[in-house]
A and B are shown apart, each in its own frame.
Chain A
Amino acid sequence: MARARRNLRVPEKEGSNIGRLIDRTQPISFTFNGRAMKGFAGDTVASALIANDVRRLTSSFKYHRPRGVLGIGSDDPNAIVEIGVGDRRTPNLNATQVLLAPDMRIASQNVWPSPRLDLGGLIGRLKPLMPPSFQYKTFKWPVPTWRVYEKALRTLGGIGTVPGAADPDRYEHIHVDADVLIVGGGLAGIAAAEAASAADLKVVLVEETHRLGGIADGYDGRVDGKPLLDWVQNKVRNLAASRDVHILTNAGVAGLYDHGLAIIHERLDPNASVEPENAPRERIWKLRTKAVILATGAHEKPLVFPDNDRPGIMLATAARLYLRRYGVLPGQRVVIATTGDEGYRTAADLAAGGAEIVRVVDLRLDPDGSLFHIMKARGTPLAVGSAPVGTTKGKKGELAGVTIANRLTLDGPALRSHADADTLLVSGGWGPAPFLAGHLGARLVFDEELGGFRPGELPGGLFVAGAANGKFHAAEVLEDGWRAGSIAVEHVLGSSWSSVVPSHSIEVTADDDAEPVGMLPDVATAAERATAFVDLQNDVTIGDLDIAIREGYSAPEHLKRYTTLGQGVDQGKLAVANAAMVMAKALPNATPAHTTFRPPWTPITFGAIAGTRRGVLFKPVRETPLTALTSDALREPLGLWRPPAVFPRPGESREEAVRREARSVRNGVGLFDATLGVKIAVQGPDAAQFLDRMSATNLADLEVGRSRFALFLDNDGFVLEDAVIARAENDRFIVSAGIGRADNLCAWFERWRQREWPDLNLFITDETERWGQLLLAGPRVPELLAAASSDIDIAGFETDSYAEGEFMGTTARALATRYTATPEVEIAVPAGHLPSLWEQITEAGKPLGITHFGTDTLHRLRLEGGAFDLDHETDGSVTPYDLGLGDLVKVDKPFFVGKEGLERPGMTRSSRRHLVGVLTEDPSFVPPPGAHLVLDPDHAPPRRVVGHVTSSGYSPTLRRSLALALISAGERHIGDRVFIVSSGEGLPAIISSTAFFSNGEPT
C-alpha cells in the first residue's frame, strides 16, 4: 500500500516572503504517473511535485536507484521527466524549469513497467558486476548474442520515449544582430545590461528560467535602503522598459561559436494566452553580437559521501528557494550539512517555515560567521567539525536517516551518530559556472581554495561577470557586472568609455569562506567510495573514478568517456567541480582539468533544430516546365528534382512499365524530358584552350557543328565528370552532361578559370534552366523528325552532330548522341516553349507509337548500351582506363587536369578493377547493385572479393539480366566464371564485355 502523502505546502503567512511566486487563488490540477495532484499557478513542475510529497521522481539511468529533486535549475541531474500526451509528449524535460500548466500530464523516465514496480531496479543489485564501461567489456562475445543484449538494453537504457507521430507544433528560427549578449539574468547580468545600455548599445539579455533576478530572492538585506528583492525588481522593470535591451526568458544558450554567434533555444510559455493560435512553441535564435558576457552564476556543490543520492537529499539553497518562491518544504525533519554559511541561512528559513531542524552539520572545524552565531544562539542543534558519512533508506528507497561522524576521528565508530530525518540538505560551497566559455576554446582554471573552476584566459570579446567569475557577495556581484558591461562597451566601441560605477549602499550579510571538501569521510573505504555518487545523472561514483584511474584513464577526456562522467541532459553541471576535487586528491601531481565543453550546454529539441524546414519545406521540390504535362508519371527524387521515373499504365508495376517503355523505344521512338541535363556555355577567344586543358580528351581539333564525348578528371587522375562537348561556333562551346550535375561541373570549371588561369579570356555560363530539353530515342527517330518543320537538316543528322536553328517554329539546339545504342537526338528550346513542343511531338509521334519514358527506363536503355553512369560506376577512385575508356585520354597533350595524377604507376596497375559486363547463368536472376563477386563460393569466409556489381537490370530486348561490375583485372578475364554473392549464396555468372547490344542488335 502506498504511504499517505503529506502536504508539504506551507500555509500562507501575512507579511512573509514565503511562496511569493505562486498564486494561491489559482489552483491547478495535474497528474503525475497517472495520479491526480494539485498545485498553484506559478509553480514549477518540481515545486508542485515536492508540495505533493513526491519523493521519488525517477530512477537513475544505470542502476535504477530512486531519485528525487536535488536542485532548482538546469543543473539538477535527477528531475528529468516526460510531459504531455500523444504527439505532444516531450521527453527529457527538467521539472525544475517547466512551469506547471493546467491538466499537465507528467511521467517518470527510466522506470519500467512503472515507478512503483521498476524491474530495472533489480539491476542496481548487480552494481558490483557493472564497473565503468561494463558494456564494452561484457557484451562483446559471442557476437550473435549482441542482438539479444541490445534489445534488452534499449528497453532499460536510453532516456525517455519518442512520440510515434509527427510533431503537431510549429518551431521557427530567427536571425538577429546586436552589440552585446548577456547570458544570465541574475544580479551580475542585470548590472552588465545596465552598463551596456547606458552606452546606448543594443543588448540581448538571455535568462534560462522564466524570471530575472537569479537567486537574489534567496537572500535578505537592503540595497540603497530598499529590500534586496524590491530593488532587483525595480531594476528589472527599468531594463524591460529600455528600448535597447531585449530580454529573453525561458531561453537557454545552447552554444557559443566563433565571430560572436550564439545559438539560443527559447521555449515559449504554453500558458501565455496572448500569442496567436499558430504561434511557434519554441524558437532558435541565431544571434550575432560583438561581445558576450557570461553572467551564468555558480552551482552549489553537492556533498560526496556514501548513498548521497537518495530522494530527500537536496541542495540547501535550492530548498530555501523552493520555500521562498513556492511555499514548499522539502520535508519535515531536516538535517543540514554545510561547508559554509549557506546551510545556516537555509536552517533559519526552514525553521521559520515550520520544519524541524534535526541538526546542522558544519564540516568546518571552527566556523565563526555571523549566521553561525545567530543559529547557535537560537539553540539550533549543531554538529561542528562533522560530516555526513552515510544515509539509511525507508521502504521506497527514500531517505530515512543520516549517519554523522566527527571529521577528526573519522573511522572511530564510537563517534558516529545517527539522526532520523526525511530530508538532508547539503551545501558544498559554490562552484562558478563560466563553462560556456569552453565552447570558444577557453580552458578554465581550477582554484583549489575555492574548489571550483574560474575563467582563465578568455578569447577576445568574451567576458565573465559575477558568481561565474568567483564573486559571491551581492556588492561584489553588482560591481563586477557593471565592470564587465563597461569593458564590453569598450570592446564594441573600440574606444575607452568612461562610466561612473553606480555606488550602492549594500547591507547583505557576507559569508565566511566555505571549505572545499572532496569525498567524505575523508578516509573512505572502497565500499564507501563505490556508493558515493559524483555524477548522479550518469550514476558515476567515486569508486568508478578510482577504477578508471587505476586502468589508466585519468586524463579528463578519457575519464569522461570511460565513466560517462559529465555527459547527458545536464552535461554534468553539478559534477564538474566535485570530480575535479576528487581527482586532485587522487592524483596530487596533476592539475585538475575539465573536459571539452561542447554544445548544447542546455538541451535543445529536434523540433527546434528543424524549425520550419520540415515536410514540403525540408527540401523544396524543383520542377521542370513539363511537370504538369507528366502528371501520369511515377517520380523519383534526384537532388531537389523529381523527374519521372516511369509512366506506368493502370495495373502496371514499376518494373513492368520499365520493360514496356524500353521495348517501345527499341522498336519505335520514345520521348524523355531531358531538361535537367546540364547545358553550360563556354565562350570567348580562349574557350577552346580552356576546355582542352580541363578535359583529358582532345578537344582542340573539334570542328564547328560536331560534338565529342569527353572525360574530366580530378587532380588525382580519377574520373570526376563526363560530358558531350559541342562546338557551336569557333569561340563557343556547349557542354552537355548528365542530369543534375550542372552545379558541380560549373563550379569545377570556375575554380580552374578563376584560380589557375585568370589570364584566359572566356566566360562560363550555366544555361541549364534557360533551355528546356527533350530526348528522342529509337530507330524511328529520323522518320519522326523528317516530318517536322525545321531549318536544321535534322532527319539526316549523324551521330555527334550539333546544330542551332529553328525547329517546329521555335529557336532550338539539336545534338545527336548514341548512349542507348539506338539513334538519339536531344532538342533544346527556350524553357517556356517546351510544353507546347512536348505536346506537338507527342501528337506527331502517335502514328509511330511514341512512348513517354522516364529515368528508370533511360538507365535500363543505357545499361543495354553498356554506357557507364557516373553515379553508379564511379566513386572517385575509378580511372578512365578502369572504365575501358583509355581511348578518350589524350596522353600526349602537354597538360590536362589530372594528367600528373593519372601518370602515377599505380593508376595502370594490371590488378585494378575494370568495368566489365556480368551475365548471370540464370538469365532471370538480376544481381543487386553492390553485390560482391568471388571466384570460389565454397571457400570458408572470409572469401576474397574480386569485385562488385555496379548496375543491373533485366533487358526486355535481350530477354535476360544484364549487369555492369568492377572486377579486378576484369578485362583479362572476359569469358571466365565468377560467383555473385547474394543472400549468402554464390550464384554463377560469366564475365563479358560491356557491349551487350550495338547497332540495334544484341552482340
Chain B
Amino acid sequence: MLMIRCPVCGIAADETEFTSGGLYGRLEETENRVIPRDVVREWWLCARGCGTWFGMARHVVNQRVTATWAAGDEPWDGRH
C-alpha cells in the first residue's frame, strides 16, 4: 500500500485515495511502451483530494516513489 503525497495540494495519503492512470505523457506517446523493471513515470490522480492529475516516478520492483511533479512541470525520476 503506497503512501503518496500529492505535489499539487500537498496531502499525503494511502494509495487508495488516489487513482493510477498509466504511463506519464500524452496518450499517443505512451501507447505500447514496454515497462522496465526500473523507475517508471506514471500518471496519478488525487482522486479524493484536489482532483488533479500529477506525475509520479515509482520503482516497479521495490515500489519506492522517487519523485512527484505537477502536470506541466518538468518530469524527473528523482535521480541526481
Could you list which residues of chain A lie within 8 angstroms of chain B, going by C-beta atoms? 257-261, 288, 441, 459-460, 715, 747, 750-751, 754-756, 758
Contact = CB atoms under 8 A, between A and B. Distances in A.
Nearest to A257: B1
A756 B1 contact: no
Nearest to A750: B51
Contact of A259 (B27, B52, B53, B63): B63
B40 interface: no
Given A259-B63, A460-B62, A750-B53, A755 B71 contact: yes
A288 B4 CA distance: 13
A259 B21 contact: no
A758 B1 contact: no
Interface in B16-64: 21, 26-27, 43, 45, 47, 51-53, 61-64
Contact of A755 (B1, B2, B26, B64): B26
Contact of B3 (A259, A460, A715, A758): A259
Contacts of A747: 45, 47
Nearest to B65: A259
Q: Which secondary structure dominates chain B's binding surface?
A: loop
Nearest to B22: A755
Given A258-B2, A755-B43, A758-B72, A715 B51 contact: no
14 contacts: A258-B1, A258-B63, A259-B2, A261-B1, A261-B3, A261-B14, A460-B64, A747-B45, A751-B21, A754-B52, A754-B53, A756-B26, A758-B71, A758-B72
Contacts of B65: 259
Contacts of B14: 261
Contacts of B61: 441
A441 B63 CA distance: 11
A715 B2 contact: no
Contacts of A754: 52-53, 71
Nearest to B24: A755
Given A259-B63, A715-B27, A755 B3 contact: no
A930 B26 CA distance: 39
Contacts of B71: 754-755, 758
B2 A756 contact: no
Candidate in A258, A747, A756 with the most chain B CB atoms within 10 angstroms: A258
State the 6 A-B residue pairs at the shortest beta-carbon distance, nearest first. A258-B63, A259-B3, A754-B53, A261-B1, A257-B1, A259-B2
A459 B63 CA distance: 10
A258 B61 CA distance: 11
B27 A756 contact: yes
Contacts of B2: 258-259
A755 B53 CA distance: 7
Contacts of B26: 755-756
Contact of A459 (B1, B21, B43, B62): B62
A750 B54 CA distance: 12
Contacts of B43: 755
Candidate in B3, B43, B72 with the most chain A CB atoms within 10 angstroms: B3
Given A750-B51, A754-B52, A755-B26, 11 more contacts: A257-B1, A258-B1, A258-B63, A261-B3, A288-B3, A747-B45, A747-B47, A750-B53, A751-B45, A754-B53, A754-B71
A259 B26 CA distance: 29
Contacts of A750: 51, 53
B1 A751 contact: no
Nearest to B51: A750
B79 to A, nearest CB: 16
A408 B27 CA distance: 72
A875 to B, nearest CB: 22
Contacts of A257: 1
B74 to A, nearest CB: 14
A854 B2 CA distance: 43
Nearest to B25: A755
A259 B58 CA distance: 12
